[in-house]
Structures are given as structure tokens and as C-alpha cells.
């Protein structure tokens, strides 16, 4: 039993889902919607000929087979351009630097809400610059500003949702981030499909600029959001103020047990540097490992290949511009539905069950996708209509598997396993890991596709096998555990308990002072 933390789950079922919490979390989830919109917009406009003609004419010539022997370029190499991938990955490079250098400090010292406001303002600036871009440098600058917003919101929104939600519904609320991301992606793919038909070739500008709509909702809404009780305690607010907020959030008067756990967690954290603790102290090794590997594994599923480059991938197999965008809309709808379902499953069946089941589903579909492309798609020509439909179906199966497992849980697991004293620093590490591997995949995928061809999908399938085994062996279940008591699960795990035992000694020493 963790010293200083209440034994049992006395307030686990004490709160209810109030309208106040729902409205607060819906507003915060706009951060996920903008992320999803930006991911899908980049891939969509990168497949539009007017956009390529404006900024990437060499790619367009290879795609259309025009001039200079480009007609002999392999199907797998038509979009192999480091400048084009820099346009995509600049978002994640900027997000990585922002999360590491600034967003963590703001979120921990000033609160989750100011971090969301700053993220929304940066998103607005990025949308304006992107829509008005007149050259490649300006287009990339717009992506960099969007990345600054992404760095702030991916740091603050998961923490906000995890700390505001009642313990027994924390999984559903946190999965709402991924669902809002899917809705943002659906909006982007639908907009891409519509603006592609605009005569005059300026539709891509509208697609990029409309990212400002959810950014405006986030910015204005976040100004009026309450801060989380955990953050208020961390900032030294008096107990009565925090108790009043907890009562409003939970809809019940009996909140002292939850408040005691938050205060105790903050007492343990007093005078400690979260970055120093999580990086140097052995007792935080389980949380550090998960903060690094869960986001990294999520990117190594190959999901950004589908999310960012789906239209380009579909054009690679021979589909036209409009057809590839329409097929992408269908795939995003399927993925969104799976994520919505996961909101009702995660707190019933647990995190491990969903991660393991989704891993098997993605593994099988990736192997089949790679096998069909290896057997049926050569360097020239395209797939038959029948095989193209089978491939789209398998991509939908893959997206569904990701949508109800690793997609939403990659937000939930890092945000709920971190103790208060290292929560902001630990989530910064998780965000940095996610961005680092996203940059690697986004920047290298088109080159890897050109060189590895269909075998790239077998490459991702191998990583899915590794991460599924990792979850089975090393990730404990955390469903329904109050967020400030989640640290107890490591003490009961067959592998981590030898390390977690040192946390007992540390907590006892801190609380006895």
C-alpha cells in the first residue's frame, strides 16, 4: 500500500458526470480537433495538382509523367520529395521544440488553461499564414506556427481531461481527445474533397485557412474554462477554493477524500524538480519507460502514413485525385466510428484488452496490405479496381483497429500513469517522443516507400508485433483507479514492483517531515 495515499477507492464512485465537466472537456477537446484537421489537411492538399503546381512542380511532373523522362518514375517514387515531406514534418519539429522548451514550464507553473489559450492563439496565426502563403517558405512558416500551437495543446489538453474527469469515466473522457481528432480529420478530408472541385485552383488555400475555425473555439473557450483542482493545488491555492471547485465539478459535497489525495500528491512533489525526478530517480523508471515507448510505438504502427499520406498512397496505386480524396473521407468516417465506440469500451474492458485486441487487428491488416501491393503493384501501371477496393477495405480495417485501441489510449495512458510531481515533465517527454517519431516517419516515409516499396508495410507490421508483446508483458491495468492512486499499480506488477518499492520509502520520508 502506498504510504500517505488512502487505501481503497473511497471516492472512486463518489462523483458524477456533471454538465460543467462535460462542457469544459468539450472545449478542451478542440485541441484534438485542430490536430486532426492539420494532419489530414497536409496530406489532402499535397495530392491537389494546383497546390503542387504552386509549390512543388517537380513532384507534379513526376506524378503526371511530364517531361525529362519522368514518365518512367516508379509508382512508389512519384512523391519522393524531401521538400514536400519537410512541409508536412515542420509541424511536428516545431511542436517538439515547443513542448520541450516552453509548454511544459507554462503548463506546470501557470496552469493547463493558459497553455491552451497560447496554443489556440498560435493555431490562429498558423492558419492565417498557411492560407495566404505565396511561396514554399511561407507555407512552411504557417506549419511551424501550427506546430507551436500543437506543442502547447498536446501538453495541456490530455492533462486537463484526465484531471477533470471522474475516475470511473476517465478513460471515456480522455478517449474523447482521439475522437475529436478524428472529427477534425473528417472535417479536413471532407473540406479537401469539396475544395478540390473549385475552379481557379485556390481551393487549397481555403482548406488550410479553415483550421482557424476550431482554433477560435479553443482560444475563446479556454479563456472561460476553470483550472483543474490538481493544478490549483500545485499553484498553492487555498484548500477551500479547491474544495468549492471540486464540488462543482463532481456534483457532490463529499469531495474531501479526493482533495486529500491531491494535496498529499502535491506534498510529495514540494521542492522537487519534475524533470530531474523522472530522469534521474529509479522509482519513476516505469513511468519514464511508458512515457517514451507508448507514443513511440503509436507512431511506429504507421498510422501517420495513413493519416497524412492516405491521398498520396491511393494515388500511388492508380486512383485519381477526386477518387483518392473521397476514399480518404470514407476511411476517416470508419476510424471515427471505432474511436467513438472505444469511449464506451475502455472503462468496461480496460486499457490492456483494447491495446492487445487492436494490435492483433492492425498486425493482420498491415501484413495483408503489404502482401497485396507486393504481388499486384509493380513500378508501372496500377491495381485493378477489385484489388484497389480490397486494399481500401483493409486500410479501413487497419484504421478501425487503431481507432479503438492505440489511437485514443496513446493519449490516455501517459496522462494517467504519471504522479503529480512528475506529471507535466513526464507528459512533455511523451509529447516529445511522439513528435520525434512522427518527424522520423513523416520525413522518411516517401523515401522509404520509394526504396522498400510494399515491404514498408511489413516493416510497420513487425513493430506492431513488438508493441503488442510489450503491452502484454509490461503494462499494468489502470481502469477505474483514481488518478492520484494509479502509482499503486506498479507495486503489484510482476516486473515493476522491484522498482516501485523504492517509491514507498520516498513517500514516507516526505510525508514524515
Place of cell 513532384: 59
Among 223-227, 302-306, 501-505, the range with the most confident prediction by mean pLDDT is: 223-227
If you average pLDDT over every residue of the chain, what do you get?
83
Residue 369 to residue 355: CA distance in whole angstroms: 21
Each residue's pLDDT tens digit, 370-397: 898 888 776 666 667 788 788 888 888 9
Give the pLDDT band of residue 13 (cuts 50, 70, 90). very low
Identify the pLDDT of residue 464.
97
Residue 339 to residue 103: CA distance in whole angstroms: 27
Judged by DSSP in three states, 42 sits in helix
Query: Of all residues in the chain, what percent carry a pLDDT higher than 90?
Result: 31
Question: Is the model's pLDDT at 6 over the cut of 50?
Answer: no
Joined grid coordinates for residue 421 = 510531481
DSSP state of 111: -
Q: What angle do CA 471, 289, 510 make, to 5 degrees?
A: 120
Identify the pLDDT of residue 406.
94
Identify the pLDDT of residue 1.
32
Question: Is the model's pLDDT at 501 over the cut of 70?
Answer: no
Identify the pLDDT of residue 5.
39
Please check whether residue 138 is in contact with residue 129, taking contact to mean a CB–CB distance below 8 angstroms.
yes
In order, the DSSP letters of 165-212 are S-GGGHHHHHHHHHHHHHHHHHHHHHHHHHHTT-TTS-HHHHHHHTTH
Average pLDDT over residues 347-368: 94
Give the pLDDT band of residue 295 (cuts 50, 70, 90). very high
Question: Is the model's pLDDT at 44 over the cut of 60?
Answer: yes
Residue 164 to residue 28: CA distance in whole angstroms: 11
Give the pLDDT band of residue 460 (cuts 50, 70, 90). very high
Each residue's pLDDT tens digit, 421-455: 888 788 889 988 988 898 888 778 778 878 888 88
Question: Is the model's pLDDT at 10 over the cut of 60?
Answer: no
Residue 139 to residue 91: CA distance in whole angstroms: 11
Each residue's pLDDT tens digit, 86-134: 888 899 899 989 988 899 889 888 899 999 999 999 999 999 999 999 9
pTM of the predicted model over 0.85:
no
Residues 6 or more apart whose Cβ sits within 8 Å of residue 394: 365, 368, 369, 372
Identify the pLDDT of residue 441.
83
Helices (H) and strands (E) in the chain, counts: 24, 0
Amino acid at each position: 500500500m502506498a504510504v500517505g495515499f488512502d487505501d481503497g477507492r473511497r471516492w472512486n464512485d463518489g462523483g458524477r458526470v456533471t454538465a460543467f465537466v462535460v462542457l469544459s472537456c468539450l472545449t478542451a477537446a478542440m485541441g484534438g480537433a485542430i490536430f486532426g484537421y492539420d494532419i489530414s489537411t497536409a496530406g489532402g492538399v499535397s495530392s491537389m495538382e494546383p497546390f503542387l503546381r504552386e509549390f512543388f512542380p517537380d513532384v507534379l511532373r513526376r506524378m503526371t509523367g511530364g517531361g525529362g523522362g519522368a514518365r518512367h518514375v516508379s509508382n512508389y517514387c512519384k512523391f519522393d520529395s524531401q521538400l514536400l515531406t519537410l512541409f508536412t514534418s515542420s509541424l511536428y519539429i516545431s511542436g517538439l521544440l515547443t513542448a520541450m522548451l516552453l509548454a511544459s514550464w507554462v503548463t506546470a507553473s501557470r496552469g493547463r488553461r493558459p497553455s491552451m489559450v497560447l496554443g489556440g492563439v498560435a493555431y490562429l496565426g498558423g492558419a492565417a499564414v498557411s492560407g495566404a502563403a505565396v511561396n514554399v517558405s511561407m507555407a512552411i512558416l504557417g506549419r511551424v506556427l501550427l506546430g507551436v500551437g500543437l506543442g502547447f495543446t498536446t501538453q495541456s489538453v490530455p492533462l486537463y481531461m484526465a484531471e477533470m474527469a471522474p475516475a470511473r469515466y476517465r478513460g471515456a473522457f480522455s478517449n474523447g481527445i482521439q475522437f475529436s481528432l478524428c472529427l477534425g480529420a473528417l472535417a479536413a478530408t471532407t473540406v479537401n474533397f469539396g475544395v478540390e472541385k473549385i475552379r481557379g485552383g485556390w481551393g487549397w488555400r481555403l482548406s488550410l485557412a479553415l483550421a482557424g475555425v476550431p482554433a477560435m473555439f479553443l482560444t475563446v473557450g479556454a479563456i472561460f474554462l476553470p483550472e483543474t483542482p490538481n493544478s490549483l493545488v500545485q499553484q498553492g491555492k487555498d484548500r477551500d477554493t479547491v474544495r468549492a471547485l471540486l464540488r462543482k465539478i463532481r456534483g457532490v459535497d463529499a469531495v474531501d477524500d479526493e482533495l486529500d489525495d491531491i494535496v498529499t500528491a502535491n506534498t510529495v512533489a514540494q521542492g522537487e524538480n519534475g524533470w530531474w525526478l523522472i530522469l534521474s530517480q529509479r522509482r519513476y523508471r516505469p513511468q519514464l519507460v511508458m512515457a517514451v515507448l507508448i507514443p513511440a510505438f503509436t507512431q511506429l504502427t504507421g498510422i501517420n502514413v495513413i493519416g497524412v499520406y492516405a491521398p498520396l498512397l491511393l494515388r500511388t496505386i492508380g486512383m485519381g485525385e477526386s477518387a483518392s480524396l473521397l476514399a480518404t473521407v470514407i476511411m476517416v468516417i470508419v476510424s471515427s466510428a471505432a474511436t467513438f465506440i472505444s469511449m464506451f469500451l475502455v472503462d468496461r474492458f480496460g486499457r490492456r484488452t483494447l491495446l492487445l485486441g487492436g494490435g492483433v487487428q492492425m498486425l493482420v491488416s498491415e501484413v495483408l496490405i503489404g502482401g497485396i501491393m507486393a504481388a499486384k503493384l509493380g513500378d508501372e501501371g496500377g491495381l485493378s479496381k477489385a484489388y484497389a477496393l480490397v486494399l481500401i477495405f483493409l486500410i479501413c480495417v487497419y484504421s478501425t483497429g487503431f481507432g479503438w485501441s492505440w489511437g485514443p489510449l496513446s493519449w490516455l495512458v501517459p496522462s494517467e500513469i504519471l504522479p503529480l510531481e512528475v506529471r507535466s515533465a513526464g507528459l512533455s517527454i511523451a509529447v516529445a517522443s511522439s513528435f520525434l517519431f512522427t518527424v522520423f516517419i513523416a520525413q522518411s516515409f516517401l523515401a522509404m516507400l520509394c526504396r522498400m516499396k510494399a515491404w514498408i508495410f511489413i516493416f510497420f507490421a513487425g513493430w506492431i508485433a513488438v508493441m503488442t508483446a510489450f503491452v502484454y508483458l509490461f503494462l499494468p491495468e489502470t481502469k477505474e483507479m483514481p488518478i492520484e492512486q494509479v502509482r499503486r499499480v506498479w507495486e503489484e506488477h510482476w516486473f515493476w514492483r522491484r522498482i516501485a518499492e523504492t517509491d514507498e520509502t520516498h513517500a514516507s520520508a516526505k510525508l514524515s517531515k
